[in-house]
Amino acid sequence: MIPNLPDTINDIKGFLAEDEAEALYHHALDASHSGAVLEIGSYCGKSTIYLGLACQQNKATVFALDHHRGSEEHQIGEYFHDPDLYDDGEGKVDTFKEFRRNIRNARLEETVVPVVAGSEAAARQWQTPLAMVFIDGGHSLEAALTDYRCWTAHLLRGGILAIHDLFEDAHEGGQAPFAVYRMAKASGLFEDLGQINSLGLLRRL
């Protein structure tokens, strides 16, 4: 049971299974005693709400990083393209309006700080230590590697690294997040906490 979870949570656009959502919430609840949480790839805010509700209890902050132009698979002609999230005037995907609405409805505007930028640009002069990093951004190898390399250096000892959409079988999903997960496990910097569905969890040593 997650306190204050909106009744509309299952109506929010997103790709997060219930067991993954609960794992994110509980790890963020523990981690946010030590500091801020960073989410990379917020989309419409479904996972952000779970992280935000956890951080709200500890008066911590969730930095929700997303350029809100959609990943490769969200563009026109791609499998996960959603016409409702396409701005005809701009000629681009725009998920930010939907994201803001969902965060406002969840009463998390004082907990969630949107960072509307690309991962590399946001990380360039970042100074805030992070107690948890959730990587759920672009699924190209370049994007996944950038997220990992830019942000794990800011993760506190004992902090949680969570990586979403891990599929060992290429027929089930993209391989880039899984490659980054294997890289993290092989680095010697993390304790492997295992997987919940397609969510991999590690702890910074």
pLDDT score of 4: 96
> SS in 3 state form for the chain?
CCCCCCCCHHHCCCCCCHHHHHHHHHHHHHHCCCCEEEEECCCCCHHHHHHHHHHHHCCCCEEEECCCCCCHHHCCCCCCCCHHHEECCCCEECCHHHHHHHHHHCCCCCCEEEECCCHHHHHCCCCCCEEEEEECCCCCHHHHHHHHHHHHHHEEEEEEEEECCCCCCCCCCCCHHHHHHHHHHHCCCEEEEEEECCEEEEEEC
pLDDT score of 138: 87
Cross-strand partners of 102: none
Catalytic residue among 27, 67, 139, 164: 139
pLDDT score of 90: 67
pLDDT score of 91: 63
- Average pLDDT for runs of 10 along the chain of length 205: 94 94 98 98 97 98 91 65 66 86 98 97 97 94 96 97 90 83 97 97 98
What is the value of pTM for the model shown?
A: 0.93
* Residue 154 a catalytic site member: no
pLDDT score of 180: 96
Q: Read off the tokens for 195.
A: 């997987």
pLDDT score of 75: 64
pLDDT score of 150: 97
CATH number of 36-204: 3.40.50.150
pLDDT score of 131: 98
Is the CA virtual torsion 103, 92, 167, 32 positive or negative?
Answer: negative
Are the C-beta atoms of 137 and 41 separated by less than 8 Å? Answer: yes
pLDDT score of 168: 81
